[in-house]
Structure formats: structure tokens, C-alpha cells
Structure 1
Amino acid sequence: MAGVALLALSGCGSDRDSFRPGCPNVGIVRDAATWRQEGGVAVMARVDAACEYEDTGVTVTADLTITGRTAEGANPGRLPLEYFVVVTDPQRNVIAKQVFATGVDISGGTGAVAESLVQFIPAAPTVDARWYEVLVGFQLPPEQVETNRRVNEGR
């Protein structure tokens, strides 16, 4: 029996290449995913991400899709938008935040824009970054976040 235990343990070396850390969670903040303004409505529709580890940390690349539509009775045009990218540590403390400006052309009634994001998270090679989060959402006034929260409660 001892021979079996030694055989099983022999595959558990300390080779650094055998450590396969995960990617940080990347997502959209639900209550900050809809932007309502006089000219129209924008929605964070999708975010796709991948990560790559380096000796000094992990780089997250993400593609964010924002869709928009003209509000009823409004003139089609461009919806100016601001969105944030936040990085949280494993204890959910915000360790970085950036705000970006973009816009969605809704001159045809609807439209979409794709944003490419790159976020570097410093970490030792043995740190598993899947406990970190990269979150995106619209930079909204508190009353609009509260409106979104009420609308989302029923879903």
C-alpha cells in the first residue's frame, strides 16, 4: 500500500509549469448596465475576456459590446456615454478604477460600439488571479443606479 501512495505522490512535484492559475472573473455590474438619457437607451450587452500570465502579473484583455437605441420621440444621433473599469482584489476591495468616454451612433434608430480593454494586475507567479475581478459598468448618477436596481429586482 505504501508503494501506491508514493507512486501517487510522485506526480505532485513543485514544477512551476504544473501550476495552472485561473483568469480573473470579468463581468458587467448589473445595476450599472443600462444608461437612460433623453435621446436614447444604451445597454452593456456583452463582455468577452481572456488572460495571460507573466512573471510580474496577469494581463486581462476584454471586448465589451454596448448597444443603443433611440428613445421614443427623440431625434436619432449619437449617445455620449461614460463607463468604468474596476479591478477588485480577493477581498473585493477596489484596487484600480478608470473611467472612459465613448458613444453609440443611433442615427439609424439602433447601433452598437465595441470597446477593447486591457488591464494589468500585478501578482506573483504563484498567485491565482481567479479570485480577482474586473468589472465594467456605466458611470451613472446614484439615482439612475437606484432606478436600474428597482427595474432589475423583478428579473
Structure 2
Amino acid sequence: MISVLQRVSEARVVVEGAVIGEIGAGLLVLVCAERGDSEAQADKLLAKILKLRVFSDEAGKMNRSVQDVGGGLLIVSQFTLAADTTGGNRPSFTQAAAPDDGRRLYDYFVDRARATHPVVQTGRFATDMKVHLVNDGPVTIPLWVN
């Protein structure tokens, strides 16, 4: 699974003019299931995200996790993270999981996040979304697990 994390002071997802997910300070988590991914990869990715120390401590060093600071998670599915741009100017998405598998793994990831973290909001799978965020830092970190 692939993820891009953005440390945010606020973020929200809008669908057809309505806010469907919103957090204050925390992490915007863009997530993509790839072909062959399973619940094991989702579990590893979530564990890494929850423990990743990207928030500042009293000394200004990135030494605290989203759990340590009580930040929110805004989890948004984004199959385009699997883009392959090596074959020309139009990206190929053949490495992205099939839609049914992608939805299953996204739903699993969100369910596990909600079971282990107090503030979890989401986008909507396979929907045209507008994502608004204020990137804090800016801090943007790509993650992937095998």
C-alpha cells in the first residue's frame, strides 16, 4: 500500500458542495491499495502512520506522533498514487488495486483506524472530491509498505 501524509493545521473533504470529512490539526492521509495488497499491508501502514514522529516537541524537533499530540486523521482514497509515468506522458494506473479490492482495503484501513485512534474522518471512495488543507510546515511524507 502507498500513502502520502501531510501534516495539517486543518483539512476537509467536500463532495457536491457539502463537507463530508473535516479535521483540525493532524494528518491528511492519502492512501492507495495496489494489486496484491492485503489486510496485512493495511495494518503495517496504519501502525507506521500512527507512530510516525512528525509533530514538534518543546524543542521544535519532530519527535511526536499523531497519537502523542491527539491529532486527527483525514483518510482519503487516491488510486492515482499508483501512477506509473515511465512509459510516456499519460500515467498508467495498472498497479492500482481493482476497484472492488481497493474499496475493501480502504474500508478495512478506515475501520482499523477508527478502532485505534479517536479522531478519524474520511473522504468517499470512488467519488470526485475536493480536498482542502493547510499544510503545516510544510510536512509531506510518502510511505509505502510491502
Q: Given the two structures, how large is their TM-score scaled by the length of structure 1?
A: 0.29
Q: Given the two structures, how large is their TM-score scaled by the length of structure 2?
A: 0.30
- Identify which of structures 1 and 2 has the higher relative contact order when contacts are C-alpha pairs closer than 8 Å and 6+ apart: 2
User: Whose strand fraction is larger, Structure 1's or Structure 2's?
Assistant: 1
User: Whose helix fraction is larger, Structure 1's or Structure 2's?
Assistant: 2
